[in-house]
Structures are given as structure tokens and as C-alpha cells.
Copies of this chain bind each other. A is one copy, B any other.
Amino acid sequence: MSKMHLEKNRLRNPLVHCITNYVTVNDVANMLIACGGAPIMADEAAEVEEMTTICDALVLNIGTLNERTVESMLKAGKKASELGHPVVLDPVGAGATRLRTETALRLISEIPMAVIRGNISEIMTLYHGTGSTKGVDASIGDAVTEDNLDEKISLARGLSINTGAVVAITGAIDIIADGRSAYVVRNGHPMMSKVSGTGCMLTAVIASFVSASPDDKAAACASAISAMGLSGEIAHERLMKSGGGPSTYRSYIIDAMGTLASDVLEGGTRIEAR
């Protein structure tokens, strides 16, 4: 399944319009190219509808939102969904400030999202309509573990039912759910948390995969998450051989995605259907 999704993504080469934060935007652009998509960043209200029209998917990432870009997100999101393009939300820091929580809630109420991807704290915030995220990282007490998997899958499914979106909770263990199906992904490496922006990069990869395989969005989303996690694993093996630290590791993750053979993905993917 992952193999097919990666191959379709590389074949279709989706152009992904990103309204995203300026912290990790360069890595998002390079990761999109690496996975088989193509990036375009444009956040001015006067052009986002026209820009998103020529694209295949849209990422809305609120990591460094401001009044101007929130307006652009709303405009672009409505246009993209009108055109049937998948819209993927990354609610960075929802729960940390009222502005972020309210903006994320407003975006999901006004725009039919294809996928919402966040950490557990962000997704809980969206589900409950309120929350307390510590900055942009998930609160430790909420982490998804083997013991509470079913409960967290229910949470994802609940938000999916409320919004119509595939919901992905990512962390050490990743959960993907919609109203019908659920997947658990166990790829990845703990050191990925030492690299700023792996979440943002993943969101863009998801948008690309879902655009290339629109018939089963939850499965395509799981494949994207697995491909990203496996890239982190492959990069870590390479790092152990070459030596180095977090910045070399960051490069290696993008390298791994850029050179990931679909057969290697198929062999290394750890997706469990639930």
C-alpha cells in the first residue's frame, strides 16, 4: 500500500500550495520536493485564491500566524475546497494561545479539511474546543502509548466524525483515523524530536500523498506518515555510521526521503490497520 502511494505521488508530482510558518518553511519546501511533490508558498490574500487554483493541494499551518495570513488561509481554504483540492491543517500550538485555538477552530468550521495533523495536545484541544498546550510540543502526560491506544484512536475518530477530516495524531506512535478505518504507524526515531519542523514537513508530505491518492485519504495519510518515519529511521542508521548531531540528522532525513525506493518503504513500513 505505501509503495503504491509513494509511486503515485512521484508520478503525479502534486503542486502543494503552503501557507505555512516562516520557521520551517525551507525544510517544508525541500521535503516536498524530496517526497515527489512540488512546493509553492504564497500567503498574500490578493493572490491566494488564484494561486491555489493552479495547485493540487493546500497546507494551512498556523505556526506563525498573523492577522494577515489568517485571512489568506480562510480565502485559500475555501477556494481549494470548492475546487475539490485536499486541504490539510497543521494546528501548530493550538491550546497554547487563544488566538491559535480560535483560529484552528474557525478554520475547521469554515473549511472542509481533508486531513488534520497535530500532536496529541493540539488534537485534544480541537476535540474539546479548548486546551493547554505547552508551546508547540505535546504535553507529556497526554502521550499516546500502547496502553491508551484505543482511547486515543477514539479521540481521533471523534474529531474525524465532527469535522469530516482524516485525523492524524503524531508522536512516538502515530494514529490515523476517519469514521470508518484506523491505522497505527510505528515508524520513526526518537531523535526526530531534536529537529525543528519534522511535524511541519510531515504535514506537507501528507498533503502531497493525499492529493496523489484521493480515493483513500486515510490510507494515503498513513503511508505518508510511515514514509516520513522510515526516512527518520534510515537517516538515524546513517548518522550512527557517519557521526554527527541534530543538524546533520536533519539533512539526512530529507536525503532519506529524497532517495527512498518504494520497495524499501514497502519493506520497512510498520502500518497496522485497526
Q: Which A positions have Cβ atoms within 8 angstroms of B?
A: 15, 21-27, 29-30, 33-34, 38-44, 46-47, 50-51, 54-55, 63-68, 93, 96-100, 134-137, 194-197, 244-248, 250-259
Q: Are A41 and B64 in contact (CB under 8 A)?
A: yes
Q: Are B97 and A51 in contact (CB under 8 A)?
A: yes
In the complex, the answer to whether A196 meets B30 with C-beta atoms within 8 Å is yes
A66-B41 in contact (CB<8A): no
Say whether A15 contacts B100, CB under 8 Å.
no
Determine if A47 and B100 form an interchain contact, defined as CB atoms under 8 angstroms apart: yes
Contacting residues, chain B, for A67 (C-beta < 8 A): 44, 46
Chain B residues, CB < 8 A from A55 = 135
Cα–Cα distance between A4 and B46 once the two chains are bound (Å): 44
Partner of A98, one of B34, B41, B50, B253: B50
> In the assembled complex, how far is the CB of residue A239 from the closest CB belonging to chain B, in whole angstroms?
10
Q: Hey, which chain B residues are within 8 Å of A26, CB to CB?
A: 23-24, 26-27, 196-197
Q: A30-B247, A43-B66 are in contact. Are A51 and B96 (CB under 8 A)?
A: yes
Smallest Cβ distance from A234 to chain B, in angstroms? Answer: 10
Which B residues are CB-close (under 8 A) to A43? 64, 66
Q: A40-B93, A47-B98 are in contact. Are A34 and B64 (CB under 8 A)?
A: no
A51 to B63, CA, bound (A): 12
Q: Residue of B at shortest CB range from A63? A: B41
Q: Is the CB of A195 within 8 A of B30?
A: yes
Q: Is the CB of B29 within 8 A of A196?
A: yes
17 residue pairs A–B, Cβ–Cβ below 8 Å: A22-B22, A23-B26, A29-B197, A34-B194, A40-B93, A41-B64, A43-B66, A44-B64, A44-B65, A51-B93, A244-B252, A244-B255, A245-B255, A247-B251, A247-B253, A247-B255, A251-B251
A54 to B97, CA, bound (A): 9
